Chain A
Amino acid sequence: SQQGEEDPQALSIQEGENATMNCSYKTSINNLQWYRQNSGRGLVHLILIRSNEREKHSGRLRVTLDTSKKSSSLLITASRAADTASYFCAPGYSTLTFGKGTMLLVSP
């Protein structure tokens, strides 16, 4: 298994703004997942994008995947204070391991 590397490590925005975070990985994958973790809670699965997909949407989330660059991005549009959390990408092939994540702070 491999872990992704999220960038930036921390992101601070105002409510209503968009938040973009990136993920890079090293070896080929069959899918990539994004998870959210509110402070002290369990992780929640947000979205899974397969290696043959370039873009996927789910509500206010938009995920892209560029397998040639081995990178993915997660865009949260019209952010809310409730989006404050850590976000992890997980390049999946077998068992999932997690990178350091991006800590997003959305201020009212």
Chain B
Amino acid sequence: DTEVTQTPKHLVMGMTNKKSLKCEQHMGHRAMYWYKQKAKKPPELMFVYSYEKLSINESVPSRFSPECPNSSLLNLHLHALQPEDSALYLCASSWTSGGRNTGELFFGEGSRLTVL
């Protein structure tokens, strides 16, 4: 099983809503990532978890709150988002050694978020 599963595939939310994006992998990877991708732009790294601990936060606004409840799951909690936060949110996982990525990233298909 070499799959990263993201749910939901599409999400529409208002600026006052609270929602969550979920990501799951069963490859035994201990590094998990959130990327944000706007249209016609490259993916931008948001957060990195290594061994269930947050290791990198790329100065992401606090309205995005990541959580890694166990080695297979990664959540991104969303609250009070702005319309400019509308984007494709990509989850990825990889093997890690000493907190460093040691090879390829396995990406999910993404969650398309629209903030009204």
User: Could you tell me which A residues sit within 8 Å of B by CB distance?
Assistant: 1, 3, 31, 33, 35, 40-45, 48, 88, 90, 92-101
Contacts and interface: CB of A to CB of B under 8 A. Distances in A.
B1 interface: no
A63 to B, nearest CB: 13
Contact residues on B (Cβ < 8 Å of other chain), bracket: 20 to 34
Contacts of A42: 4, 90, 107-110
A41 B104 contact: no
A41 B110 contact: yes
B105 interface: yes
Contacts of A98: 42-43
B92 to A, nearest CB: 8
Interface string B35-58: 000000111110010000000100
Contacts, number: 51
A48 B102 CA distance: 11
B105 A96 contact: yes
A35 B88 CA distance: 17
Nearest to A99: B42
Given A43-B105, A95-B101, 6 more contacts: A1-B45, A33-B104, A45-B106, A88-B42, A92-B101, A96-B105
A100 B42 contact: yes
B107 A43 contact: yes
Nearest to A4: B42
B104 A48 contact: yes
